[in-house]
Amino acid sequence: MQIAKNAVVVCLLAFLAVPLRAEPAKVAGVWNLSVELEVGTGHPVVTLSQDGEKISGKYEGRYGTAPVEGTVKDQAIEFIVTMSSDGNPAKGVFKGTVNGDSMSGTFEFDEIGGGKWSGVRAAAK
C-alpha cells in the first residue's frame, strides 16, 4: 500500500514539474485594422492563417498587398509586413495582444515611423 502511495506522489510531482503551456490565441481569419500614423489613419485588412504559434497571410492596404509572417504565443501577437512604398521596400513590425475577436498594440515601419494599431475580426461569411 505504501509503495502505491509513493508512486502516486511521484507521478503528481512529475506532472507538476512539467510547465503547462497555454494554447496560443486563435487568430486565423480576416481582421479589419485601424493603423494610426502621424500623417493619418489607415484601414488595412489582414488575412491570417495559423499553424500552432506560426501565422502567415496577407496585408491589404494603401500600397497594395504584402505578405505577413509572424507568431502568436499565448495572447501575444507579433507579425512583420514587408511591402513597397513608392518603389522603396518598407518593413513593418506589429506587436500586440489578442483578446478574443479584437487585438491591439504598437507598430514600427522603416522610414515611415510608428504608432498604434487595433483590429477587429470580420464576421465569418
Q: Confirm whether 62 is domain-assigned.
A: yes
Give the integer Cα–Cα distance in Å for 114 and 94: 9
Number of domains in the chain: 1
Q: Confirm whether 43 is domain-assigned.
A: yes
Q: Confirm whether 9 is domain-assigned.
A: no
Contact 53, 24 (CB under 8 A): yes
Q: Confirm whether 117 is domain-assigned.
A: yes
Q: Confirm whether 12 is domain-assigned.
A: no
Q: pLDDT tens digits, the chain, 125 residues: what are they?
A: 666 555 555 444 455 554 566 799 999 999 999 999 887 899 999 999 999 999 999 999 988 899 999 999 999 999 999 987 777 788 999 999 999 999 999 999 887 789 999 999 998 77
Which CATH number covers residue 31? 2.40.128.120
Q: Confirm whether 15 is domain-assigned.
A: no
| C-beta atoms surrounding 96 within 10 Å | 20
Residue-range definition of the domain harbouring residue 27: 22-121
Give the integer Cα–Cα distance in Å for 57 and 50: 9
Q: Confirm whether 6 is domain-assigned.
A: no
Say which amino acid occupies 40: G
Q: Across the chain, how many H-helices and E-strands are there?
A: 1, 9
| C-beta atoms surrounding 6 within 10 Å | 10
Chain-centroid distance of CA 12 in Å reads 34
Give the integer Cα–Cα distance in Å for 60 and 45: 5
